[in-house]
Amino acid sequence: MATTGTNHLQAKLVLLGDMGAGKSSLVLRFVKGQFFEYQESTIGAAFLTQTVAVNDATVKFEIWDTAGQERYHSLAPMYYRGAAAAIIVYDISNLDSFARAKKWVQELLQQGNANLVMALAGNKADLSSKRKVETEEGKAYADENQLFFMETSAKTAQNVNELFYEIARKLPKAQPAQQPAGMVLTDRPTGDRFAIKSTCCA
């Protein structure tokens, strides 16, 4: 949830997408300005934060970077529950990753969080010679589902900051904390609780 303080917003953001699409690389580029050609796979999940200034407010992103393989799909809900924003990432040089991205979009739409700001990112835009997913395709799918769309390159930094800034701008400005007590995940095998608290910074 995005919560507000005095001109200060705290927003949970989750990255989803096929393995190797570049989720971690996008985050690392955005948060640390780094890029590693051989960024190791994410095991479990990673958490990072980065604050951006938009107009007269600041937005602190609490970013959850998840493992891409579908095998770990059952863990995903605990990371996207309660998120204010989601970036669904695919690799423009990989058709399967685009198909996977569509599934994530559908899953998130079914979660029924109307306030969720969703972005579709066609990553690895630097690999235009190996392109398999045309820009128009991505754009069309995004429009269809009312997502915000951008082609990015974590490697060249193209559109990376823009992506996050655009999300920051789209976040509801004074969204009340809707579920202040935190979101409880109940569909896991052990049934134990997992909550992500939306801490208010006010």
Partner 1 sequence: MGKESNLKMELQGGSDDFKKAVSRRTKKPLSLSTASQPQPKEGVNVGAEKGNTKGTVAGSSSDAYEVVYVKDNVSVHPTQYASERISGRLRLIKQGSSLFMTWIPYNRARFTEENTEFATPSNGSMRTMAGKSLAGKPFDKADRNLYTIRAVSLSEMRSIRRHTPPLGWQYVIIVLTNGLAFPPLYFHNGGVREFLATLKEHALLVRSADDANVYLINDTQDPLQKSLTSLELTEVVPVSASATQKRKEESRPLIPDSEESGSGEAHPNQIGQTESPPRKPRDATHDFSINVLEKFSMVTKFARDTTAHLMGSLENLGAEQSHRTRYQKENFDLSMDTLPSNVEESLQGAPSTSIACDDSLQKHGGEGKFSDGLASTNVGTFELVDGAQVYSSSTSSLSFGVIDNSMPLPNDSPALVWGRARPPPLGSEEWATFLDADGRVVDFKALKKRIFYGGIEPSLRREVWKFLLEHYQFDSTYKERKGLTTQKKEAYITLKAQWQTISDDQAKRFAKFRERKSRVEKDVVRTDRSLPFYADDENPNITLLRDILITYSFYNFDLGYCQGMSDLLSPILYVMKDEAESFWCFAALMERLAPNFHRDQNGMHSQLQALLKLVQLLDTPLHDYFKQADCLNYFFCFRWILIQFKREFDYDNVMRLWEVLWTHHLSEHFHMYMCVAILKRYRRKIMDEQMEFDTLLKFINELSGHIDLESTLRDAEALCLFAGERGAACIPAGTPPAIATFENKGIELYQDSESTSY
CA distances from 76 to 67, 81, 171, 177, 189 (A): 8, 8, 22, 22, 14
Q: H/E element holding 103?
A: helix 95-111
Q: Kindly state the helix (H) or strand (E) to which residue 160 belongs, with its residue range.
A: helix 160-170
Name residue 55's amino acid: N
Q: What is the dihedral of CA 23, 97, 2, 197, to 10 degrees?
A: -70
Asked if 189 interacts with partner 1 (CB under 8 A), we say yes
Binding span for partner 1 by CB under 8 A among 59-67, 116-124, 135-143, 168-176:
59-67
96 binds partner 1 (CB under 8 A): yes
Interface stretch with partner 1, choices 40-48, 80-88, 132-140, 170-178 (CB under 8 A): 40-48
Q: Using CB under 8 A, which of 52, 62, 87, 122 touches partner 1?
A: 62
Q: What is the DSSP string of 109-134?
A: HHHT-TT-EEEEEEE-TT-GGG--S-
State yes or no: residue 182 binds partner 1 (CB under 8 A): yes
**Quick check: 55 binds partner 1 (CB under 8 A)?**
no
Among 48, 109, 116, 157, which residue sits at the site for partner 1 (rule: CB under 8 A)? Answer: 48
Residue 169 CB, nearest distance to partner 1 (Å)? 24
- How far apart are the two ends of the chain, measured CA to CA in Å? 14
Provide the minimum distance between the beta carbon of 192 and partner 1 in the complex, in angstroms, as a whole number. 5
For residue 54, what is the enclosing H or E element? strand 45-54
Each residue 9-28 as x (binds partner 1 by CB under 8 A) or -, in order, gives ----------xx--------
**Could you say whether residue 77 binds partner 1 (CB under 8 A)?**
no
Of 2, 4, 22, whose CA–CA distance to 12 is shortest? 2
User: Could you say whether residue 130 binds partner 1 (CB under 8 A)?
Assistant: no
Minimal distance, residue 39 CB to partner 1, in Å: 6
- Binding stretches for partner 1 (CB under 8 A): 19-20, 38-41, 43-49, 62, 64, 67-75, 78, 96, 100, 103, 182, 188-190, 192-197, 199
